[in-house]
Chains A and B, each alone.
Chain A
Amino acid sequence: GENVEQHPSTLSVQEGDSAVIKCTYSDSASNYFPWYKQELGKGPQLIIDIRSNVGEKKDQRIAVTLNKTAKHFSLHITETQPEDSAVYFCAALEPFGNEKLTFGTGTRLTIIP
C-alpha cells in the first residue's frame, strides 16, 4: 500500500515569511494529492489539492508543487499570517479499486508575530 512521509513535524516562521512543508509518497500510481489544515478541536479542512497531470497549483498565498519523477510534493505558504498557525496534513490517493487516501503524520506550523 501507499506510504506518505511528511517533514518537518514542527515548523516556526516569523510572520510575513514563507513556510514550506514537504511530503514523499511511495506508490507511483497515486494520482491525487490534497493538503489539509486542522485547527485546534476541529476536523481537517481541504486547503489545496493537485492531480498528477499538473506540476503546480496556486491559490492566493498557497501553492502546491508536484514532482512525479521524485515522488514528492510540497506546500508553500507565502506572507504568513497568525491565522496560518495550525497542523497541516498531506495525503495521497491510491486509484483503481480501493481508492484509499493515505495521510502523512502532520506538521505543526507556528507563526511568530
Chain B
Amino acid sequence: NAGVTQTPKFQVLKTGQSMTLQCAQDMNHEYMSWYRQDPGMGLRLIHYSVGAGITDQGEVPNGYNVSRSTTEDFPLRLLSAAPSQTSVYFCASRPGARYGTDTQYFGPGTRLTVL
C-alpha cells in the first residue's frame, strides 16, 4: 500500500491563479480530510468527506472547493489564490467508525507559496 499520496510536493502560484492539489489513498478509507498547517496554528480542517459524493466544510473552508467522486481521490481546489493561502497542506484518511478504528493517516504534504 502506498498509503496517502499528495501531489505536488511544492507549488508557487501568483495571486489570482487557480490550481488543484491532488490526494489519493489506496486503503479503501471512508473518511478523507484536508488540513492546512501554519506556524503556531496547528492543523486546521479545511474540508472533509465521510464517503464518495459527500463533503462538508471544516474550520477554514473559504477560498477552497472539494469533491469526492471516488473513494480513492479527494482533490482540493484553490479558486483564486491569495497570499493568505500560503501554507503547508495535508491530506488525511481514516477507515471510519464502523470499522472499529479511528486511526488517521496523513500524506507527506504540499508546500504552497502564493506571491
Which A positions have Cβ atoms within 8 angstroms of B?
Answer: 1, 6, 9, 32, 34, 36, 41-46, 49, 89, 93, 95, 98-106
Q: Is the CB of A43 within 8 A of B41?
A: no
B27 shortest CB reach to chain A, Å: 14
Q: Is the CB of A101 within 8 A of B33?
A: yes
Residues of chain B within 8 A of A104, CB atoms compared = 42
Q: Is the CB of B102 within 8 A of A100?
A: no
Which B positions have Cβ atoms within 8 angstroms of A?
Answer: 4, 31, 33, 35, 40-45, 48, 50, 56, 58-59, 90, 92, 96-97, 102-109
Residues of chain A within 8 A of B42, CB atoms compared = 6, 89, 103-106
How far is it, in angstroms, between the C-alpha of A100 and the C-alpha of B106 when the chains are bound? 15
B57 shortest CB reach to chain A, Å: 10
Most buried by A among B42, B44, B92: B42
